[in-house]
Amino acid sequence: MSEVKKGKIPLVVAVDTGGTFTDVLLLDGGRLRSLKLASTPNDPSDAVLEGLRQVLDDAGREADGTFLLLHGSTVATNALLERKGARVMLVTNAGFEDILEIGRQNRPQLYALVGHRPPPLVDRDDRHGIQGRIGPDGEVIAALDPAELEALPELLAGAESVAVVLLHSYANPSHEESVADALAKLDVPLSVSVRLLPEYREYERTSTTVVNAYIAPRISAYLKRLAREAGAERVIVMGSNGGSLPVDRAAREPVHMVLSGPAGGVVGALAYGRRAGHERIITFDMGGTSTDVSLCPGAPLHTRELEIGGQPIAIPVIDIHTVGAGGGSLARIDPGGALRVGPESAGADPGPICYGKGGTGVTVTDAHVWLGRMPADAFLGGEQTLDRSAVEPHLRSIAERLGASLEVAAEGILEVANAAMERALRVISVERGHDPAEFTLVAFGGAGGLHAAHLADRLGTPSAMVPPRPGLLSAYGMLAADITREVSRTVLISTASADAEASIESVFAELEQAAVAALAEEGVPDDHLSLRKWVDARYERQSFELRVPGEDWAAQFHALHEKRYGYRRPTTPVEAVTLRAIASAPGPPLELEHIPHTDSPPTVGHTRAYTEGEWTEVDRVWRSDLGRDQTLDGPALVLEYSSTTWIPRGWGLRVDEWGNLHLSAT
């Protein structure tokens, strides 16, 4: 258990549940306490509740309803990836029952003679078409059949969750609401597209609503258990868009949690980056199961083009790119004799071999331990000891197949993992027209600091930064996140229309009122709110949109289109497709103190590590011993409770006033 002095703040606990570890931060009357414990994949709430108990006991506090619980989780993501959701029944328009299978007819494998797509989340027999039709302008083309509505509950009696998606409900929600009313007696989670995503493109809207229905029973039970047993005054959940939402809404709309934990990491990294004077950052979050990267040119970028497990999800999320290369990623030799790493992971149980829990597959973490870059006696601040000797026979099996030494095989595992992560970093930067040299790489997660310098060097960023408590930064981001509510509506209004601006402002007024009212219901006072307006716009007859601020939106669209695609069409009308209003309020106050300056050099120990083809003695120092403006030259290791930072030869480290570690080539 680690403990760091902080400014005065209310009692708040932030918990981030990952595939390998569950991270807990307690902010209590000026102190920040941190805890990492193994996740419990069979029931993630077990680890969350145990972490709460331990951290509150350590602080001498009780779960007496006097603290705020902020929570981020991968439960929704894992339920979708592992196909462990509910039996969903879909109610849609007659003749549109197969929209989930038709999709966009994109080829998932471009050069395969016969492509493969994952099966829909709803079986064909569980899709029910009904009469009735709304037109694109909201007109009723065909009325609903009252007899069909009356028969629906009995028809859907075997459902564990129900999704309702009817054509053009964004223009007129009356038919969907009538169906929802008819199904209210079923007593199962009900996902209604107009409540969840009142936007056009029926395939994406259907897929998003079905995903919500698929994971709703499991997430609802999980969150209700936390709300019931955690002993917190309130439970607030991290959303995929970088803001937080109340637990009741998260239980109804769990699709907003699909990037819950990674979004917290981006928010936390940007908060520390700004303190250090870096507005333009690339976040690099290397955890136990995967690595998440995101580009932040002053603020997080958002997207609605998310796909998880082959299922499109059209809610606004922070633009995060994920690869299956984490500390727990498994190394293997493929049939062609090549060394591969991931995407399979050892997870929390049994975990890497060195954890001593019965693991047999060599992981990235095992490679670091074998090479001495994760000293066996310093894991979790020295609270646990890793078993380096257990790695040898399994690593030897890989080394013999490669015809290499144990050390070369371990370095090869790290190089393959680095290559996968470098590709991910280039996807979000170089491939989108951004020069990495203009950004700072902010590395966090339990394994981020071990790879930060190598990736910064290969990517061409001038420096890398490792924030304090990097292994718990996603939990910290939940503390720094705003409380937000986004309300949207598809309008399809062109600038060629005489009353375009008046119509748009009228809709914006309604959306802003709805967003403010939603936060008011959650106890957020009006004087703490800020409002932002956004427009998804396109040239007439284009198929896809660009998102621009609501003020002077048409001119901003022309400018952004030229920047993105190299040209503009000043005489072509611009169409406002979807309007968005976002209300936000700041989260709990966080008054971080500067770390003290000290004239005393840090206590430097020594350990052996394999680097540049030989075993050599390297410096090792505990991060808590480093003061402001102190420096350290590589090769060296910085040890701490939640992570380890590796400084290779030719690189140096400097500590700033906030405790950030700045790595750069010397």
pLDDT of residue 322: 84
Looking at the chain, the whole-number percentage of residues with pLDDT higher than 70 is 97
First vs last C-alpha separation in the chain: 34
Cα separations (Å) of 428 from 95, 265, 346, 423, 433? 40, 16, 27, 9, 9
Q: What's CA 64's distance to the chain center, in Å?
A: 30
Beta bridge partners of 569: none
Lowest model confidence (mean pLDDT) among 19-28, 146-155, 635-644: 19-28
pLDDT, one tens digit per residue, over 217-248 is 999 999 999 999 998 888 889 999 888 888 88
| CA separation for the pair 639, 176 (Å, rounded) | 56
Between these two residues, 2 and 276, which has the higher pLDDT value?
A: 276
Going by pLDDT thresholds of 50, 70 and 90, the confidence category of residue 3 is very low
pLDDT, one tens digit per residue, over 253-270 is 999 998 888 899 999 999
Give 302's DSSP letter. E
Instruction: Answer for the pair 49, 232: CB distance below 8 angstroms, yes or no.
Output: no
pLDDT above 80: residue 587: no
pLDDT, one tens digit per residue, over 79-116 is 887 788 999 999 999 999 999 998 887 777 778 777 77
Greatest mean pLDDT among 10-24, 29-43, 222-236, 587-601? 222-236
| CA separation for the pair 428, 434 (Å, rounded) | 8
Give 433's DSSP letter. T
Q: Give the residue-averaged pLDDT of 128-155.
A: 95
Instruction: Answer for the pair 267, 467: CB distance below 8 angstroms, yes or no.
Output: no
Q: Give the residue-averaged pLDDT of 657-666.
A: 93
DSSP of 32-84: EEEEEEE--TT-HHHHHHHHHHHHHHHTT---SS-SEEEEEESHHHHHHHTT-
pLDDT above 80: residue 165: yes
Residue-range domains of the chain with CATH:
2-81+220-257 (3.30.420.40), 88-204 (no CATH), 265-324+418-480 (3.30.420.40), 329-413 (no CATH), 484-585 (3.30.1490), 605-665 (no CATH)
pLDDT of residue 29: 65
pLDDT above 80: residue 309: no
CB-count burial class (<10 Å; 0-12, 13-18, 19+) for 398: buried
Quickly tell me which residue has 């995967």 as its tokens: 290
Q: What is the mean pLDDT of the chain?
A: 90
pLDDT of residue 1: 43
pLDDT above 50: residue 449: yes
pLDDT of residue 384: 84
pLDDT of residue 7: 36
pLDDT, one tens digit per residue, over 591-606 is 667 788 887 888 899 9
| CA separation for the pair 516, 402 (Å, rounded) | 61
Between these two residues, 416 and 527, which has the higher pLDDT value?
A: 416
Work out the number of other CB atoms within 10 angstroms of the CB of residue 343. Answer: 15
